Amino acid sequence: MKGKIWKYGDNVNTDVIYAGKYTYQQLKPEEMASRALEDLDPAFAKGVRPGDIIVAGRNFGCGSSREQAAACLRAAGVQAVVAKSFARIYFRNAINLGLPVLQCEAAVDALSAGDEAEVDFAGGRIVAGDRIFTFPPLPESIIGILEAGGLIEWTKKKLEHHRTGKPA
Amino acid sequence: MGLTFSEKALGRKAGRTVRAGEVITVSPDYYLSHDNSSAIIGEFKKLGLKKVAAPGKIVIVLDHIVPAADEKYAQNHKTIREFVAEQGIPNFFDIHAGVCHQVFSEASFALPGAVIMGSDSHTTTYGAFGAFAAGVGRTETASLWATDEIWLRVPETLRIEFRGRFPVGVFAKDAILKILGDHGADRANYEAVEFAGPAAGDFSLASRMVLCNMAAEMGAKNGYFEPDGKTIDWLKARARGSYEILKSDPDAKYEAVLTYDLGALEPQIACPHSVDNVKPVSAVAGRPFHQALIGTCTNGRLEDLEVAARILKGRKIHPSVRTLVLPASREVYLEAVKRGLIEIFLEANCVMVNPGCGPCLGAHEGLLAPGEVVVGTSNRNFKGRMGGRDSEIYLASPATVAASAVEGKITDPRTYLS
């Protein structure tokens, strides 16, 4: 699926992705999507379309452990976040909620806001016209969580395995 | 080759020797959550289980929006109280107790060598007591409630060595801000940060908590101070179960070693809108502002309130500034009352806010209007965090904030303390 690039800088923090004032309100996915990146780029929530890709610099998602900062982007239909690096809790949260987070410095340097691109997850590639960027595969230990559709589904399988003795 | 503290703490749980970079599955000693427990309960229920795996390992502290600011928050708290009763969770602290990281430490769940996961990014604070403590998200905490297990990557370790003594008017907050300014908000991403060196033992436990709390702002997975006599004395008075002191081996492998001479530091301030946009206070002195905040899980302990009271005693807050004082816990608040500090704050025209997270995360109790500026002792100054989108947050030590509150503009506190 092709999507439009939204490009941001280094240290995009969880407060600007999803403000603290909403964090304890337990909003529905579409409400969360409408508040995504509110304090960084008010145009994002209005303009984002399913399949769009966020491209950012170093330490994306630094700050709070609030996982709505990953959930709101997934709810907005973001296909993947491509960054030079991710803050560690954000990285875990994104995997646990099924939001693909890809580390690819070359793509971040090359891609501009408004470019079109798509992610080939199986091939480990980001394709933007004739420009192709490869990203390192995710560690095996977390591929299982993504394949299960997130941590809740993965844990369900694990619990089932404990109960029945059948492999997860 | 020797092992780092983090390799030892996680290896102890894994039942074998582990090295940085390995991914292991462990069963932690405790897992903390707060008002977000309500959302965690929602995730837990999706798993179709009736009972949590280990109720004694769950620690819940209501602190983020306490007392409840509106009906929604009140419902969250009610959901949590009902779940606690239904599951027989023994370690529940209701809205009177204070900020989770202070309460967790006072109740001495933060034990040397313990492995602690918390559904809050500042869980790193417990490294001050020699624990391995890292933040996770809500879904992950729900999974911990269900399985009592979590996967963790064993972190590499960044060692920061301190020598020398703080000059008058310079504190732990200034040291961690200086480190953040020098090395950036992602210097320790995915890593453990070990605070060490000949001066490490001089830090009070409260000051160690400041450094470990803000290790999270360097991106760290966990912070660590080697336990010593101060740690043992603290635990003696509070003793909860047994613990094992784990220390890095002298020949442990570090990703890097940074050194800081405390004697060469001056008061620091993080300017908007990033924790690593740090300058000496002297460079921004004179900047007017609207609100001062003294307290939070970063700097709301007795030594913080004491130094602020020293500056505010017999003085008044500048009329153009409003000042909030937010003790980190009921225990701290009570001791501050006994020592007469609260009287000093009230005489100075400060507003006492109940122990809790208060305005720090922008949910309630003293938010900023558009265009307003706060100078506070908290740990984050992200854009819009404490209110209006174009409001500004400066972060500094309690002494700098108190001196600034008196002057009505950002002020180097050294003249007030020498």
Rounded Cα distance, B305 and B299, in Å: 8
DSSP per-residue string spanning A107-136: HHHH--TT-EEEEETTTTEEEETTEEEE-P
In this structure, whether the domain defined by B12-27+156-226+249-265 belongs to CATH 3.40.1060.10 is answered with yes
Q: So where are chain B's domains?
A: 12-27+156-226+249-265, 28-148, 272-417
E strands, B164-290, are 192-196, 222-225, 256-261, 268-270, 278-280
Rounded Cα distance, A34 and A15, in Å: 15
Burial track B383-394 (b if 16+ CB lie within 10 A, e otherwise): bbbbbbeebbbb
The β-bridge relationship of strands B157-163 and A101-103 is unpaired
Q: Which two tokens stand for residue B411?
A: 């002020």
Chain A residues near residue B35 by CB distance under 8 angstroms: 24
Q: What ipTM does this complex have?
A: 0.87
pLDDT of A96? 92
Chain A residues near residue B183 by CB distance under 8 angstroms: none
Rounded mean pLDDT, A122-141: 87
Using a CB–CB cutoff of 8 Å, tell me whether A103 touches chain B: no
Contact yes or no for B136 and A97 at CB 8 A: no
Q: Which two tokens stand for residue B98?
A: 């204070």
Contact yes or no for B137 and A67 at CB 8 A: yes
**Identical fold between B28-148 and B272-417:** yes
Chain B residues near residue A21 by CB distance under 8 angstroms: 362-363
Contact yes or no for A93 and B146 at CB 8 A: no
pLDDT of B77? 98
Task: Label residue A123 by pLDDT band (50, 70, 90).
Answer: confident
HSE of B1, CA atoms in CB hemisphere, 13 A: 8
Mean pLDDT estimate for chain A: 92
Contact yes or no for A19 and B362 at CB 8 A: yes
Residue of chain A minimizing CA distance to B35: A24
CATH top class, domain B28-148:
alpha beta
β partners of residue B294: B325
Residue B171 Cα distances to A137, B105, B223, angstroms: 44, 21, 18
Residue A42 CB partners (closer than 8 Å, separation 6+) = none
- What is the fold of A3-136? Aconitase; domain 4 (3.20.19)
pLDDT of A166? 63
pLDDT of A167? 55
pLDDT in tens, B258-283: 999 999 999 999 999 999 999 999 99
pLDDT of A164? 81
pLDDT of A160? 87
Ordered strands of the B256-261 beta sheet: B222-225, B192-196, B157-163, B256-261
Rounded Cα distance, B279 and B130, in Å: 30
CATH top class, domain B272-417:
alpha beta
Contact yes or no for A159 and B189 at CB 8 A: no
- For chain B, which ranges sit under pLDDT 50? none
pLDDT at A137 over 90: no
- Look at B406 and A146; give whichever has higher pLDDT: B406
pLDDT of B20? 96
Rounded Cα distance, A68 and A27, in Å: 9
Rounded Cα distance, B49 and B66, in Å: 29
Residues in chain B: 418
Q: Are B173 and B396 in contact (CB under 8 A)?
A: yes
Contact yes or no for A64 and B389 at CB 8 A: no
Quick one: DSSP state of residue B288?
A: B
pTM: 0.94
pLDDT at A116 over 90: yes
pLDDT of A24? 81
Q: Are A135 and A104 in contact (CB under 8 A)?
A: yes
Three-state DSSP state, B376: strand
